[in-house]
Amino acid sequence: METVSNKVVVTRRPNRPQMFSDEMITLTCEVQGGETTEWTYEWKRDGSIIHRTNSKDWSFRGSKSSSGDYMCQCRRRDDAYSSTKWSEAIRLSVSGKPKARLNSNSREIPAGGSVTLTCTVTSSSSGWKYFWYKERDSSEPLTGEEADFPSNGQMNVSEERLYWCRGGRGEPAYYTDYSDRISITKNVTVSSSASSSFPAMFVVGPFVGIVLIILLLLLWRYRLSKDFSCLRSLQSDNSSQRPATDHGANETENHYRSLLHATTSIYHIIRPRPRGAAGNDEVVKYAKRRERPHPEKSCLYVNVMPGINSST
């Protein structure tokens, strides 16, 4: 087999040290000084031929098994026995699909301030553009009009929400998995006016309680004095309704006033007949009282004076 002197060079796109699963990779095999010649291209990985094509470009989606050293050799189409030497190896490193990481300098938004969120992908990769999302009706990423992006991979937020992000790169765009969601809350502080009201409440509260107690005492005394007034009025009415024909009864009236306040009892007074009076009759007075809630209405007085006429 004849070996041609043309040198073969292998390149890759994108030219990144770290690639990821499902990311599009393109390897290019070029024969220096043989641009006008038609070639058949053979590819091998780690010493084994894995691909043959008539195009200098070989594109495929990477996977973990795609990692290895790649080399290319070219053969003339019009002469299968004429070939180039194998190119120098180019190494591919392919990892699983990455997941974006989201961090914040604080989980609480200070009063009148904001929180800075930072989205990153593994440090061994590059070329990422970051897309931001928050809890809302739309699933589209936030735009520059909807959020504050101080730099690529950072966003300032002042709204209480759930936030998350992901990275993307390449053409067509290759996206990482979404980051975990972060809940950002607002730091609620008690205003000075609200805090100053607490001491006032401790002063006003007891004062109002004392005023209520005084009002209740005044109301109680008013009711009590009203009851005593009604009692005296009833006693006065009872006195005015007693008959005035019995002079002897008037003389002993003071002896029976105490019966209004006595317990349930029967009292009697027996007085001897005055000298010079005829007969052996005796003057007898009976008083009987029953205990009731209103004694002035429930008293019964009976005057019995046998043998004495009304003129006595």
pLDDT given at position 286: 47
pLDDT given at position 307: 53
For residue 193, the surrounding DSSP H or E stretch is helix 192-240
Residue 212 lies in a domain: no
In this structure, the answer to whether residues 108 and 37 fall within a common structural domain is: no
d(C-alpha 97, C-alpha 23), whole Å: 8
pLDDT given at position 115: 94
d(C-alpha 90, C-alpha 86), whole Å: 12
Question: Which among 144, 170, 186 is the end of a domain?
Answer: 186
Residue 293 makes CB contacts below 8 A (sequence gap 6+) with none
pLDDT given at position 126: 85
How would you write the pLDDT of the chain (312 residues) with one tens digit per residue?
Answer: 667 788 999 999 999 889 999 999 999 999 998 888 899 999 999 999 999 999 999 999 999 999 999 999 999 998 878 899 999 999 999 999 999 999 999 999 998 899 999 999 987 788 899 999 999 988 899 998 989 999 999 999 999 999 999 999 988 899 999 999 999 998 776 555 555 555 666 778 788 889 889 988 888 888 888 776 766 666 666 665 555 445 444 544 544 444 444 444 444 445 555 555 555 544 444 445 555 555 554 444 445 555 555 444
**Residue 277 and residue 271 in contact, taking contact as beta carbons nearer than 8 Å:** no
Q: How many Cα atoms sit within 13 Å of 148 on the Cβ side?
A: 10
DSSP state of 281: -
Residue 234 lies in a domain: no
- Is the backbone of residue 259 left (phi > 0), alpha (psi -120 to 50) or beta? alpha
Cis peptide before 14 (omega within 30 of 0): yes
In this structure, the answer to whether residues 116 and 69 fall within a common structural domain is: no
pLDDT given at position 294: 52
Q: Quick count: other Cβ atoms within 10 Å of Cβ 255?
A: 12
**Residue 179 and residue 153 in contact, taking contact as beta carbons nearer than 8 Å:** no
pLDDT given at position 222: 84
Residue 283 lies in a domain: yes
In this structure, the answer to whether residues 56 and 138 fall within a common structural domain is: no
CATH of residue 117's domain is: 2.60.40.10
Residue 62 lies in a domain: yes
Residue 160 lies in a domain: yes
**Residue 166 and residue 175 in contact, taking contact as beta carbons nearer than 8 Å:** yes
Q: What is the pTM of this model?
A: 0.55
pLDDT given at position 141: 93
Question: Which among 186, 215, 240 is the end of a domain?
Answer: 186
In this structure, the answer to whether residues 79 and 6 fall within a common structural domain is: yes
> DSSP string spanning 91-153?
EE-EEPPPB-EEEES-SEEPTT--EEEEEE--TT----EEEEEESSS--SPPPTTTSEEEETT
Residue of 129, 138, 132, 127 whose CA lies nearest to 117 = 132
pLDDT given at position 242: 53
Residue 225 lies in a domain: no
In this structure, the answer to whether residues 29 and 82 fall within a common structural domain is: yes
Beta strands 82-83 and 2-3 are parallel
Q: Show the domain range for 167.
A: 101-186
Residue 216 lies in a domain: no
Q: Which two tokens stand for residue 303?
A: 């005057």
In this structure, the answer to whether residues 84 and 106 fall within a common structural domain is: no
The number of folded domains in the chain is: 3
Question: Which among 50, 80, 95 is the end of a domain?
Answer: 95
Would you call 216 exposed, middle or buried from its count of C-beta atoms within 10 A (0-12, 13-18, 19+)?
exposed
